[in-house]
Amino acid sequence: MNTHEKKAPAAQEGLQYFYSPPAELPPGYMDIICGLVEAGGSVSPEFVRYNLERAFLIAYVKDGDEIIGCSSLKHPRPEFIATVREQTGLDLENYLERGYTSVKPRYRGKGLGSSMLAGLTARVGDRKLYSVIGEDNIGGQKMAINNNTKRVAVYESKKTGKKLGIWIPEWMLQRDK
């Protein structure tokens, strides 16, 4: 078993989970993963490749030879950190962002997103992390709640005008008290 591979839960027999720094992705995988994220339609494609190429860790799920889902731990851009601090007072300076989770439609609802997020979270070490979830993204919020994550702030995107929540795993909040 590859060191980046995790055995799939019984409900996901035949699927393989991988966790890899961007520089260690096999050739062509970055293109496929960027395409999956962009096809999800919930993020602007403008910074997808830039953010993923500089990510801390990328998760992806394969069914045979096909990549069917992805997620990542990204380093947030300084402009984002400044916007959140300005609007909410929350300082995300030393955090990783858990995001760009995308699963092909025919595989949704089977726990792949939750499994990837749990796998990424298990690999953060001493780092802290957060997720950004649109206030209108009920599916993303349910996944966050199922992963014991709590909304700690809401800010407004300067670019889209949408309200977005900042979600942090509850165990990290408890650790900080």
Mean pLDDT per 10-residue run, the chain (177 residues)?
Answer: 45 86 97 93 80 95 96 92 95 91 91 89 90 89 87 91 94 76
pLDDT of 135 reads: 94
Helix, strand, coil percent content, the chain, rounded in steps of 5:
35, 30, 30
pLDDT digits (tens, 9 = 90+) for 125-174: 889 999 999 999 888 898 888 878 999 999 998 888 999 999 999 988 87
Fold of the domain built from segment(s) 5-175: Aminopeptidase (3.40.630)
CA-CA-CA-CA torsion for 132, 29, 94, 5, nearest 10 degrees?
A: 100
Q: Where are the domains of the chain?
A: 5-175
Percentage above 70 pLDDT, the chain: 90
pLDDT of 10 reads: 47
pLDDT of 11 reads: 52
For the whole model, what pTM was predicted? 0.82
